[in-house]
Amino acid sequence: MPAFNEEAGIASTLRALTESHGFGPDLEIIVAANGCTDRTAEVARSFGVRVAEITTPSKTAALNAGDELATGDVRIYMDADVPADVSLIRALAGAVARPGIEAAVPRLESDASASTWPVRSYYRINARLPVFRGRLFGRGIIALSGTARARFKRFPELTADDMFLDAIVEADEKAEIPQSIRVVAPRTMNNLVRRVARARDGNDEFWRFVESAPPEYDLNRDPVPGSSATSWMRDVVLRAPWLMPSAVVYVSVVLRAERKRRSPDWDVRSGWGSRSTAPATVPAPRGAADQAVPSEPAVRD
């Protein structure tokens, strides 16, 4: 569990796990506090979990530090504000124990009920995009089998660690379990635009990595096949024309996000470590307008 300045919220996440029915010694929790300037590590230790502290504010470094301490075969990479309990953890572990399944995620359940109407309009399109079908990214939690984890030595320095795992595991090796993760959409348009801007940064970085990845990474070089810049129109609006007003908002958000990330004062780290202002960056498939960005709660990119 990578954690960057999560003092305010990590207690509820760890309590949901350690106080769940079925929690036992076979479940090892490791919190990797990376570059924290608050009491994240201290709060985590109060729950009796293992804590790795590193000085670099890097999720990749945190993932690698946690992996070095982990002793189990099945690895579950989970953001520090994902509302998971032990039953979900065990369901994910059970999924990757099935023959031929090397990675598993829960079903994504977005909640924009507390958001402003433009945000809700955006998600009327986003929720219908096919990009999340059969994918691992966007949930904030991914289970990986020992076989899949053995395919690479260390996580590369990438914002899109979830898309990296998507490229490590083949489509027929992935499973989505029936249990869902409820994630909350950003409340305001500004927060949504910032999230999509950060997503586009991570997306571009990921594709640059795919195109020049070292031979040690045996990547599926099309982890999101079939996506395009017109997916919102082809796969959503043409099938449900009544969504055209929402599509106007959707495209507007993507264009505003692109303009924002290209502005001189853009800082991709803006908002990291804050549960109220740090929505997740979830890289989307290639294409200027095909930004399928799920709901709120991954901690950082």
Q: Looking at residue 281, what is its pLDDT?
A: 31
Q: Looking at residue 48, what is its pLDDT?
A: 94
> What tokens does 187 get?
């409340």
Q: Nearest to residue 83, comparing CAs of 292, 295, 270?
A: 295
- Give CA–CA dist 216/233, Å, rounded: 38
Task: Please determine, for residue 173, whether its predicted confidence score (pLDDT) is greater than 90.
Answer: yes
Q: Looking at residue 298, what is its pLDDT?
A: 32
- 270 pLDDT tier (thresholds 50, 70, 90): low
pLDDT in tens, 199-211: 888 888 888 888 8
- 46 pLDDT tier (thresholds 50, 70, 90): very high
In this prediction the pTM is 0.83
Q: Looking at residue 212, what is its pLDDT?
A: 84
> What tokens does 108 get?
């994504």
Task: Please determine, for residue 110, whether its predicted confidence score (pLDDT) is greater than 90.
Answer: no
Question: How many alpha carbons fall within 13 Å on the CB side of residue 191?
Answer: 22
Give the torsion sign (CA, 81, 209, 266, 263).
negative
φ, ψ dihedrals at 37, nearest 5°: -115, 15
Residue 290 · residue 231 · CB < 8 Å:
yes
Task: Please determine, for residue 280, whether its predicted confidence score (pLDDT) is greater than 70.
Answer: no
- Give CA–CA dist 44/141, Å, rounded: 18
Radius of gyration, CA atoms only, the chain: 18
Q: Looking at residue 283, what is its pLDDT?
A: 34
pLDDT in tens, 239-267: 999 999 999 999 999 999 999 999 888 87
Task: Please determine, for residue 276, whether its predicted confidence score (pLDDT) is greater than 80.
Answer: no
